[in-house]
């Protein structure tokens, strides 16, 4: 028996490695986009302002305080309806974060398409700054005298 008869796949022409690795690299950004679009489609169709469709925020339920994410489902619903003012009234931090999240996704997509290595972490200063902003926002939205417009 010849080698071809033993293993017909062995003589098959291999795919160009650059194309295969780039297609694999694009799987992550594409899956993330499809998942986000699916979640936004559900959120656009099922209004979180009507009771009974989504669970209550566990932090709000247990403490009675608004967490930094409280109102984000309603804000995203408003954004799917192109109501930026309504979204701002529910969670201003989320409205400010959406352009950065979209820009980060596009940067991820371009890095993947060009075959550049993925950077896994942000610099420590950026992480600390984000943490301080989120915690300060969470505190400020629970002090009505300080910033009553931050409560959802």
pLDDT digits (tens, 9 = 90+) for 66-111: 999 999 999 999 999 999 999 999 999 999 999 999 998 998 888 8
Is residue 17 included in any domain, yes or no?
no
Is residue 86 included in any domain, yes or no?
yes
Is residue 77 included in any domain, yes or no?
yes
Is residue 5 included in any domain, yes or no?
no
Is residue 32 included in any domain, yes or no?
yes
Give pTM, 2 decimals. 0.76
Across 46-60, 76-90, 105-119, the highest mean pLDDT is recorded for: 76-90
Q: Tell me the CA distances in angstroms from 67 to 16, 57, 61, 139, 144, one per residue in order.
A: 50, 8, 10, 8, 14
Is residue 94 included in any domain, yes or no?
yes
Structural domain harbouring 63: 22-150
Identify the weakest region by mean pLDDT among 33-42, 44-53, 87-96. Answer: 44-53
How many independent structural domains does the chain possess?
Answer: 1
The pLDDT of residue 13 is 47
Mean pLDDT (the chain, rounded): 84
Is residue 122 included in any domain, yes or no?
yes
């Amino acid at each position: 028996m010849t080698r071809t008869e033993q293993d017909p796949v062995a003589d098959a022409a291999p795919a160009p490695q650059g194309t295969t690795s780039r297609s694999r690299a694009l799987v992550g950004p594409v899956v993330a986009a499809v998942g986000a679009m699916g979640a936004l489609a559900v959120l656009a169709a099922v209004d979180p302002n009507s009771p009974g469709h989504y669970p209550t925020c566990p932090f709000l339920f247990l403490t009675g305080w608004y967490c930094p994410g409280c109102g984000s489902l309603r804000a995203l619903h408003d954004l799917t309806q192109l109501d930026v003012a309504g979204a701002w009234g529910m969670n201003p931090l989320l409205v400010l974060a959406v352009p950065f999240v979209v820009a980060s996704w596009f940067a991820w997509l371009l890095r993947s398409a060009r075959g550049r290595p993925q950077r896994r972490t942000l610099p420590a200063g950026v992480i600390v700054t984000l943490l301080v902003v989120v915690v300060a926002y969470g505190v400020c939205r629970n002090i009505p005298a300080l910033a009553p417009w931050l409560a959802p």
